[in-house]
Amino acid sequence: MAFAGGGALAAAVSRAGGLGLIGGGYGDPAWLEAQFEAAAGAHVGVGFITWSLRKSPSLLTDVLRHRPAAVMLSFGDPRPFVDEIRAAGARVICQCQDLGHVMDAVEVQADIVVAQGAEAGGHGAARGTLGFVPEAADYLAAHAAGTLLLAAGGIGDGRGLAASLVLGADGVLLGTRLWAATEALVQPGHHQALLETDGDGTLRTTVADIARQIAWPRGFTARIRRNAFTDRWHGHEADLERAVAVEGPRYRQAFAAGDAEHTGVWFGEAAGVIHAIEPAAVIVERMADEAAQCLARQAAAVGGPAAGERAVLPSAPSDLASASALAFPEAGQTERLAPPPVLDADQQAAADELINGPRGGVYGPFRPLLHRPPLLRAAAKLGETLRYTGTLDAALREWTICVVARETENVFEWEMHHPLAVRAGVPVAALGALATRSALPADLDPALALAARVARELLATHRIGEATYAQALVQWGEAALVELLTLAGYFAMVCWVMNVARTPGPQRV
């Protein structure tokens, strides 16, 4: 984001698990230097307006000295720059506005393609995000399967991220939502204007470029806020060109003063779902959490029990009492796959081992597993290894189990582990938020918030995204991450078996 996307914002996004980009825009060397300094060594990338970069290519050489993680090229032919970017060890991101651009990006073997729809704030073209992203995904699948695809344009919350993933993107590129971050280099008056504007209150136009006397190539327009400036000049572009000697300085003055009426105020349709100016980390983390919840909900709606069988979950309260009072889909139904009424010798031996081991009884997943003693023993051993000799601290372990139990809507593990989580120090409010599927408390221990994200992403998408993986690696290191993934997988497995078996909660055994 030219002008707004400085080093502090980029660094905050990267620290939150995304990849922050400094908006190189038209390329002011002193400004770029200052922004890399503000990024304070964070792992960030940088973006350029490609047709403008062609006029002063030394800018690229200058920024590559800062060893950016990636360089994004938009609005023009990427070919002249990709070799230099690669030679410096940075990834090449090509932001594309139509399928022709995607083909160009594939030709230069871009590492990441951004499919930008016309809902986007700032410059762009005509394709809509909803139609363009899946088409780009299909093209990449056929011609460059290893290339990552990001969706851009109109994505302002976790629903947009979830939808983008469903459309075939690997992630999203955000402009407007991060323009509305506290770290963005945006005048307070412009931030306030966004909060007062809904998604209808923007338009694509060329009047800001005419006023600034920036000659954009044909086909590109900019989405900005509708205001007195656009009301006066949009549709009267020739008049503005004639009046530019007066109107140009007026535009720039109003912009510098934070006047939201007599200049371009640069944001897109996502304004309609943005209701607060917040730190970038809050935005990134909430968006990931919301998306994981959306995907899990949709997966449950499509693949879960029939609508008539589903219990109504409590909607508002978020304390532990309401959490433990959750109704589950299998509530009140007759148990299936219960232990055989007469045990054979091996089943009896397996039952005795459980009764005489740390569990002290045959309950939960071991009721259905008693049908297959070798599996019961293997599962019991893995569960014991994770629970009794694992290296994760108790709060992290019990919390992760609770997330899995909640996401799989499993009564046994939820009722068994949420008291253990409380005892291990997990805040009651966080468990309440899990129970009601509401946003996790903002002050939740970042490790617990990350564990929730990992577990939810796993259950919703069967993998975790690059950003989550990178953050998890920093948080826990390889061995503990493997342990956490195995923990989530083990509990997902036993929850599935019990959901099918309608195994009752621990109090009812």
Ligand X SMILES: Cc1cc2nc3c(=O)[nH]c(=O)nc-3n(C[C@H](O)[C@H](O)[C@H](O)COP(=O)(O)O)c2cc1C
Told to check if 323 binds ligand X by CB under 6 A, we report: no
For residues 283 and 296, which CB has a smaller minimum distance to ligand X in the complex? 283
Helices (H) and strands (E) in the chain, counts: 24, 10
Contact letters for ligand X, residues 132-161 (x by CB under 6 A): --------------------xxxx------
For residues 2 and 451, which CB has a smaller minimum distance to ligand X in the complex? 2
Residues 82, 174, 431, 464: which binds ligand X (CB under 6 A)?
174
For residues 95 and 205, which CB has a smaller minimum distance to ligand X in the complex? 95
Residue 136 to residue 87: CA distance in whole angstroms: 27
For residues 97 and 147, which CB has a smaller minimum distance to ligand X in the complex? 97
Told to check if 176 binds ligand X by CB under 6 A, we report: yes
Q: How far is the CB of 86 from ligand X (least distance, A)?
A: 19
CB 193 within 8 A of CB 172: no
For residues 73 and 140, which CB has a smaller minimum distance to ligand X in the complex? 73
Q: How far is the CB of 26 from ligand X (least distance, A)?
A: 8
Residues in 47-76 at the binding interface with ligand X, rule: CB under 6 A: 47, 49, 74
Residues in 97-136 at the binding interface with ligand X, rule: CB under 6 A: 116, 119-123
Rg (CA), the chain: 27
Told to check if 494 binds ligand X by CB under 6 A, we report: no
The dihedrals phi and psi of 165, each to the nearest 5 degrees, come to: -65, -40
Residues 81, 266, 490, 491: which binds ligand X (CB under 6 A)?
266
User: Of all residues in this chain, which one has the CB nearest to ligand X in the complex?
Assistant: 175
Q: How far is the CB of 152 from ligand X (least distance, A)?
A: 4
Residue 193 to residue 208: CA distance in whole angstroms: 17
Buried/exposed code over 241-250 (b: 16+ C-beta within 10 A; e: otherwise): eebbeebeeb
Told to check if 171 binds ligand X by CB under 6 A, we report: no
Number of amino acids touching ligand X (CB under 6 A): 29
Residue 3 to residue 263: CA distance in whole angstroms: 14
Query: What DSSP string describes 426-484?
Result: --HHHHHHHHHT-PPPTTS-HHHHHHHHHHHHHHHHSS--HHHHHHHHHHHHHHHHHHH
Residues 17, 68, 268, 432: which binds ligand X (CB under 6 A)?
268
Question: What residues contact 318, with CB distance under 8 A and at least 6 apart?
Answer: 429, 432, 433, 435, 436, 438
Residues 92, 173, 260, 498: which binds ligand X (CB under 6 A)?
173
Q: How far is the CB of 163 from ligand X (least distance, A)?
A: 13
Choose the binding region for ligand X from 1-9, 377-385, 444-452, 471-479 (rule: CB under 6 A).
Answer: 1-9
**Is residue 56 left, alpha or beta, with left meaning phi > 0 and alpha meaning psi from -120 to 50?**
beta
For residues 64 and 382, which CB has a smaller minimum distance to ligand X in the complex? 64
Q: How far is the CB of 1 from ligand X (least distance, A)?
A: 4
Could you count the other beta carbons within 10 Å of the beta carbon of residue 336? 11
Told to check if 95 binds ligand X by CB under 6 A, we report: yes
Residue 73 to residue 112: CA distance in whole angstroms: 11
Residues 23, 78, 427, 432: which binds ligand X (CB under 6 A)?
23
CB 76 within 8 A of CB 54: yes
For residues 53 and 430, which CB has a smaller minimum distance to ligand X in the complex? 53
- Encoded tokens for 326: 């959750």
The dihedrals phi and psi of 28, each to the nearest 5 degrees, come to: -110, 110
Q: How far is the CB of 334 from ligand X (least distance, A)?
A: 51
Residues in 270-299 at the binding interface with ligand X, rule: CB under 6 A: 270
- The residue type found at 160 is G
- The residue type found at 64 is L
Which residue's entry shows tokens 């995304």? 18
For residues 74 and 147, which CB has a smaller minimum distance to ligand X in the complex? 74
The SS3 call for residue 151 is strand
Could you count the other beta carbons within 10 Å of the beta carbon of residue 381? 11
Choose the binding region for ligand X from 169-177, 273-281, 433-441, 471-479 (rule: CB under 6 A).
Answer: 169-177
Q: How far is the CB of 116 from ligand X (least distance, A)?
A: 4
Residue 509 to residue 505: CA distance in whole angstroms: 7
Q: How far is the CB of 51 from ligand X (least distance, A)?
A: 11
Q: How far is the CB of 279 from ligand X (least distance, A)?
A: 17
What H or E segment, with its residue span, contains residue 204? strand 202-205
What H or E segment, with its residue span, contains residue 115? strand 112-116
CB 503 within 8 A of CB 469: no
Residues 179, 229, 328, 414: which binds ligand X (CB under 6 A)?
179
Q: How far is the CB of 237 from ligand X (least distance, A)?
A: 21
Choose the binding region for ligand X from 11-19, 211-219, 263-271, 362-370 (rule: CB under 6 A).
Answer: 263-271
Residues in 329-388 at the binding interface with ligand X, rule: CB under 6 A: none
For residues 217 and 332, which CB has a smaller minimum distance to ligand X in the complex? 217
**Is residue 372 left, alpha or beta, with left meaning phi > 0 and alpha meaning psi from -120 to 50?**
beta
For residues 171 and 427, which CB has a smaller minimum distance to ligand X in the complex? 171
The dihedrals phi and psi of 259, each to the nearest 5 degrees, come to: -65, 130
Interface with ligand X (CB under 6 A): 1-2, 4, 23, 25, 47, 49, 74, 95, 116, 119-123, 152-155, 173-177, 179, 266-268, 270
